[in-house]
Structure 1
Amino acid sequence: MQDSNLPGTELLKTVLEPLLEDFDYWFGRSRHLLETEQLSFMSHQEQSDLLLRVKQAQTELNTAKMLFAATDKQVGLDMTTLAPWHQLVTECWNVGMRFHQEKEKS
Structure 2
Amino acid sequence: MPDSNLPGTDLLKTVLEPLLEDFQYWFTRSRDLLETEQLSFMSNQEQSDLLCRVKRAQEELNTAKMLFSATDGQVGVDMATLMPWHQLVTECWKVAMRFRQTPGV
Match of 1:17 in 2: 17
Q: Secondary structure at the match of 1:73?
A: coil
Q: Which amino acid aligns with 1:42?
A: M
Unaligned runs of 5+ in 2: 1-5
Is the aligned partner of 1:28 residue 2:28?
A: yes
Give the TM-score of the pair, scaled to structure 2.
0.93
Structure 1 segments of 4+ aligned residues over 3 angstroms from their partners: none
Match of 1:70 in 2: 70
TM-aligned CA deviation for residue 96 of structure 1: 0.2
TM-aligned CA deviation for residue 73 of structure 1: 0.5
TM-aligned CA deviation for residue 89 of structure 1: 0.0
TM-align CA RMSD? 0.8
Match of 1:41 in 2: 41
Match of 1:59 in 2: 59
Q: Secondary structure at the match of 1:68?
A: helix
Number of aligned residues: 99
**What percent of counterpart residues are identical?**
81
Counterpart Cα distance in 2 of 1:80 and 1:66: 18
TM-aligned CA deviation for residue 33 of structure 1: 0.1
TM-aligned CA deviation for residue 13 of structure 1: 0.2
Q: Which amino acid aligns with 1:63?
A: T
Counterpart Cα distance in 2 of 1:57 and 1:87: 11
Match of 2:3 in 1: none
Give the TM-score of the pair, scaled to structure 1.
0.92
Query: Counterparts of 1:62-101 in structure 2 under 5 Å?
Result: 62-101=62-101
